[in-house]
Every structure is written in structure tokens, then in C-alpha cells.
Chain A
Amino acid sequence: MALLEVDDLRTHFFTREGTVRAVDGISFAVEKGKTLGIVGESGCGKSVTALSIMGLIPKPPAKIVTGSVMYEGRDLTKLSEHELEDVRGREIAMIFQDPMTSLNPTLTIGTQITETIRRHYDVPQAQANKKAVELLEEVRIPRADERLKDYPHRFSGGMRQRVMIAIALSCDPKLLIADEPTTALDVTVQASVLDLLDDLRHEHDMAMIIITHDMGVVAEAADDILVMYAGQIVEHASTLDLFDNPEHPYTEALLGALPQLEGEGIRQGRLTAIPGRPPDLIDPPAACRFGPRCPYAGGDSCTEQMPELRELRKGHWVRSAHPASERVRSEVPA
């Protein structure tokens, strides 16, 4: 049985302008010890998905309209705030994009780590402190015992993200949700944080959901990948299959839009830009949401009905009437 099973989750925001369908019917599972990557551009619903799992969406204006989030046999969407607090941190932990703002600047990092430990375990402060030092050592922060008394501003961005990871690990969660964990970091720091996460998830036998806009980050970190577009999953496959044989026109376009680090003729070449921009999620039409930007769109199947997420081959799901492997040669993009 999967560790986490999300079924037909819909999180909508009820605003004065109308209902924003930020997450609109997504289903996926996370297996024990595996890493799932969720990739997509701003506003595709990837962060709202994470916050919905954790029960952290702002209510109001947001509301989980339908769907369930099953974690070890319990539906997290049905739990009370108090019951959720026992799950958060203890069972499922989360780290956020911005290590500058997710730590409290007025408390020492020792206080911030031990408060999580003592929220979930009945241990004396001295023992919690000892555990905190071990955690800081585990995330490779030098002179861990001295640094416990330091405030967050004494740490660099990469070191703060390590502190966040230490807090996340403090109760040995079975699932870690990392929402853009390295986006605010420099590339060399990003590499060391990703290596650290990789080591830790093996050592702790932890499952992970890594949310990012960066195709390179999921390519290196994830076992399976969900591609999200306009609140929906448009493609779901194993990492190798997704990069070897991308099926959805959006996934193909995203990969084509990425500048390459290695290769020939890079300077002379043009990137395949995707025309237009994602649809407004207030009352989107009941048609393919990528349709207006899709080079293969045409006929009523694209403009009149929403394509279902279907399993094209084992383990490879796609929501499109024109996946790459079904296209005939005459369908060349205009």
C-alpha cells in the first residue's frame, strides 16, 4: 500500500472575482521510500497541492472541495486541526522555498529545533538539546553545539535551509515535502543541499515529494514525476520514461524551451518558446486547458471536451488528445 494516496483532490479559492480552481482534480500516490517530483510553472497548483496535503491552506478563501488525502489509512482532509498537528512534523514534514523567512528571526535556532521535538515527544530540555546538536551535525553544520545559541541571521541562505531540514528531520518523518527547497539558493549551494537531501532520505528511509519549476532538479532527484498545468496533472510517468519519451505537448514544449548547457550551435539556435500564457483559473472552459497554446490542437476533441488522464502505457499517464506516440506524421506543428 502506498504511504500517501491523493484522490481527486480539488482545492478552490473563493474570491470576489470568482472561484479560482487552483487544484482541480488531481490523484497520485507516493510509495514508501520513493521520491515524487511535481514540476510546473508559477500558478499551476503545485504548491497548493502540498499545502492541501499538510492542511495548511488558508481557509477562507481556500477550501478543499472534493477529494481525499489518505495517509496510512487516515483521510487527512477529515482531521481536526488538533489531530493534524500530531501528523505535521511527526509523520509528514515540510520545508519551504525561502529559508530567510521560514525561520523565526527572534528565536535561536536551538529553540526552534527543540520546540518541534518537545511538541511531539515528552523529553526534558537537556535531552532535546542533545538531539538538536545531533541533527545539526547530521545536516553537516560545523561546530553544531556552539551554533545552537545563534540566531538565524548569523547563517547564510544555504545554512538556513540546512537548519530547516534539521527541524524537518527532528521527529523522523516518513514523508518530507520539499517545496522549491533550492530555488532561492546559488547553484553550488543548491547542489550541496540536493546531495544532502539525497543522503538523508536513504539514511532515514524517507519518502519525499519535491516540488520545483526546475526540470534539472527533478531529473536528478525524483523517481517519478508529475507535470502540472493549470491546476491539473497533464503527465505522470517514471523519471526516465518522462525524459526519454515525453508524451504531452506541454512537457515537450517545456523541455524544448530550456536553454541547453552542453551541445553545439547553442548560440545560433532559437529556443522553442510556448506562445501565449496559461489560462485564467476562474471559470476555465471545459476544454483542454493547454489547447490554446498547443501546436497540435484542432478538431472538437480539443476545444469541446476535457481530455481524461489516461494510461498510455504501463505507468505513463497523459492528459491529451495528441500525445507524441499517437501522432501521425502529418501532424506537424504549425
Chain B
Amino acid sequence: MTALLEVTNLVKRFPIRAGLLIERTVGEIAAVNDVTFEVETGETLGLVGESGSGKSTTGYCVLQLLKPTSGSVKFEGTELTDLGREQLRKMRREMQIVFQDPYSSLDPRMTVGDIVAEPLIVHGIGTRKDRGIRIRELLDVVGFNPSFTNRYPHEFSGGQRQRIGIARALALSPKLIVCDEPVSALDVSIQAQILNLLKDLQRDFGLTYLFIAHDLAVVRSMSDRIAVMNKGQLVEIGPAEQVYTNPQHDYTKALLSAVPIPDPRAMKERKAARRKLRHALAEG
């Protein structure tokens, strides 16, 4: 089996600009620095790291929402970095994204129905009537009451809005969905609903996920394999179980030891262990 997605030596640098009236580039920052990984069909690769680690930038580069500085992104063997606008647009049917913030990623002036229909219209799929049926189907699949298609996003809670965002991502029946912190704006009880939904959809439609999040427990619950990023670099990648129970890189160890877990007895030991590790890292 070949990989659905192959990312090789991906680099994304952003210019650092200075000056008030006449801006000039004074340097560069490597947000993503030589990152290589593959994602197999039907699996979830979790991409975990702290803020500024480059995990979201990696996701955007995969979808060509940001143009990589160098490196290769292959989807089903097709090199995406060489494609022109029109070819890319066609490829995007296969690759969609679910954003973090269900408050700002939905156009407040569009109805729920129009939001979910938009990808279908952009790609010229179906008649108006077909689309109406498809929208109701999609909303039903994500657990959103299909009779609310004429309402606006602000009428719904964060969890319901995230369902709208997921329905939009599913509209074109993509193979790959990049989930960029899809539950970090949600409360725990709602977060569980959305994570379960994403698992169900993966099982029912054979979806492949690149699942980006900062919460290590959330990533673990979703992922077959996990990649850990720090300061633009991928420091460790492997099967979820292995990375979490036997981390190899010091940064992964520090990250895992820092997570507070809902077990007061275990926390006593974890607190002592993380202090020790922090001192060791500070000195070493």
C-alpha cells in the first residue's frame, strides 16, 4: 500500500519585516524546518506540539493554503507544489480542512445551508435540488438537525457550529481531512461528542486524518501514529502507543511529563518526575 500523503523535506520560512513606512526584510524564521512524514490511507496521523511549533503551518502547507518554501508534498503520488491554480482547485476536492475556531471559520452572513453548499457550488456539483438533498444528508450525518438549514451560525453553540464546519469539509467526499485543533475551543463534554463524531465518520467513510492539536490526550485518543513537533522540527514519529509509553526524544518526555492527569495519586509522582526532568533539561 502506498501512502495517501507523502511530505518530504518540507520547509516553510516566513520573512521578518521591520521599518515603519518602508518595510524591509531583516531576516527569516523557519516555521517548518525539514519535515518528512507519510500518512497511509484510512489512518490518523496526530501532529502534536506547543504553540509556535509549526504544526498548523505544516497542515496549511500540505493543503497548499501556504506555499512551501521548499520540499515536496505528494497526494496519491501527485506532486502538489508544482500544480497551477486550476489543477490545485481540482485536487482540493480530495483534501479538506476543519478549523479550530467554529466562531470565526463560518461566514456569519451565510445560512447553514449555504455554508455547507458552498464547496458543491464552487466545484459545480449537482443541480440546486440535488444540493438541497445532499446538504440535508450531510447535516444529518454530523448530527445537526437538517431542518435548521435556513438559520445563521450565531444561533448555534460552539459544538453545533463545529458540526457545520465538519459537514462543509465532508461535502465533496474528500479522502483526506486536515483537522486543525478541531476541539480546542470546546468544553470537555462537547469535545467528546465531536471526537466521537470524527471517529465515526472515519470508520463510515474511510477518511484519512492529519489531526493537529496541542492536547496530548486528545491526540492520543484519535491517532494511530503520532508526530511530535518542536520549533519547526519533527522530533519524534511513531505508533501512538510507542511514542506515549516509551518516548525517545527528551522533548517528547518533557511534554508528556508536563500533562496534568485526572488522577490525584498518580499526580504526586508525576509532579516530582517533571521537576526532575526540567532540572535535567535546564542543566543539560
Q: Do A and B come from one complex?
A: yes
Interface positions of A (Cβ within 8 A of B): 41-42, 186-188, 190-192, 194-195, 198, 213-217, 219-220, 239-240, 243, 253-262, 266-267, 269-275, 277
Question: Inside 8 A of A215's CB, which chain B residues have their CB?
Answer: 188, 262
Question: Which of the candidate stretches B8-16, B32-40, B88-96, B219-227 sits at the interface with the other chain?
Answer: B219-227
Which chain A residue lies CB-closest to B278?
A192
State whether A186 and B221 are in contact (beta carbons under 8 Å apart), knowing that A219-B263, A257-B188, A273-B192 are contacts in the complex. Answer: no
Which chain B residues in 229-270 approach chain A with CB under 8 Å?
240, 244-245, 254-265, 267, 270
Question: Inside 8 A of B214's CB, which chain A residues have their CB?
Answer: 186-187
Q: Is B220's CB under 8 angstroms from A259's CB?
A: yes
State whether A216 and B260 are in contact (beta carbons under 8 Å apart), knowing that A41-B187, A261-B216, A262-B244 are contacts in the complex. Answer: yes
B contact residues, range: 35 or more
B157 at the interface (CB under 8 A from A): yes
Q: Is B187's CB under 8 angstroms from A42's CB?
A: yes
Q: What is the CB-to-nearest-CB distance from B264 to chain A, in angstroms, rounded to a whole number?
A: 5
Q: What is the CB-to-nearest-CB distance from B210 to chain A, in angstroms, rounded to a whole number?
A: 16
Question: Inside 8 A of A195's CB, which chain B residues have their CB?
Answer: 271, 274-275
CB-contact partner of B189 in A217, A243, A253, under 8 A: A253
Q: Mark B187-226, 1 if CB is under 8 A from A, else 0.
A: 1111111011001000000000000001111101111100
State whether A243 and B258 are in contact (beta carbons under 8 Å apart), knowing that A259-B221, A273-B192 are contacts in the complex. Answer: no
CB-contact partner of B261 in A216, A266, A271, A274, under 8 A: A216
The CA-CA distance from A270 to B200 in the complex, in Å, is 9
B68 at the interface (CB under 8 A from A): no
Q: Is B258's CB under 8 angstroms from A191's CB?
A: yes
B78 at the interface (CB under 8 A from A): no
Q: Is B157's CB under 8 angstroms from A258's CB?
A: no
Q: Is B261's CB under 8 angstroms from A262's CB?
A: yes
Which chain B residue lies CB-closest to A223?
B264
Which chain B residue lies CB-closest to A271?
B192
17 residue pairs bridging A and B, Cβ less than 8 Å apart: A41-B189, A187-B50, A187-B216, A187-B258, A188-B255, A192-B278, A220-B267, A239-B264, A240-B265, A254-B189, A257-B189, A258-B192, A259-B192, A259-B220, A261-B216, A271-B221, A277-B157
Q: What is the CB-to-nearest-CB distance from A68 to chain B, in angstroms, rounded to a whole number?
A: 31
Q: Please report the number of residue pairs spanning A and B whose Cβ atoms sit closer than 8 angstroms.
A: 121
Q: Is A188's CB under 8 angstroms from B258's CB?
A: yes
Q: Is B224's CB under 8 angstroms from A243's CB?
A: no
Q: Is A259's CB under 8 angstroms from B217's CB?
A: yes
The CA-CA distance from A179 to B11 in the complex, in Å, is 39
Q: Is A258's CB under 8 angstroms from B262's CB?
A: yes
State whether A267 and B195 are in contact (beta carbons under 8 Å apart), knowing that A213-B187, A277-B157 are contacts in the complex. Answer: no
Q: Is A261's CB under 8 angstroms from B189's CB?
A: no
CB-contact partner of A258 in B193, B217, B245, under 8 A: B217
Question: Inside 8 A of B255's CB, which chain A residues have their CB?
Answer: 187-188
Q: Is B216's CB under 8 angstroms from A273's CB?
A: no
The CA-CA distance from A277 to B51 in the complex, in Å, is 29
Q: Is A187's CB under 8 angstroms from B188's CB?
A: no
Question: Inside 8 A of A192's CB, which chain B residues have their CB?
Answer: 278
Q: What is the CB-to-nearest-CB distance from A246 to chain B, in angstroms, rounded to a whole number?
A: 10
Q: Is B190's CB under 8 angstroms from A261's CB?
A: no
Q: What is the CB-to-nearest-CB distance from B128 to chain A, in angstroms, rounded to a whole number?
A: 33
Question: Inside 8 A of A275's CB, which chain B residues have their CB?
Answer: 193
Q: Is B192's CB under 8 angstroms from A272's CB?
A: yes
Question: Which of A191, A239, A275: most chain B CB closer than 10 A?
Answer: A191
Question: Inside 8 A of A266's CB, which chain B residues have their CB?
Answer: 220-221, 240
The CA-CA distance from A288 to B213 in the complex, in Å, is 35
Q: Is A243's CB under 8 angstroms from B262's CB?
A: yes
Q: Is B258's CB under 8 angstroms from A219's CB?
A: no
Question: Inside 8 A of B270's CB, which chain A residues have their CB?
Answer: 220
Question: Inside 8 A of A214's CB, which chain B residues have their CB?
Answer: 260
The CA-CA distance from A186 to B215 in the complex, in Å, is 9
B159 at the interface (CB under 8 A from A): yes
Question: Inside 8 A of B218's CB, which chain A residues have their CB?
Answer: 259
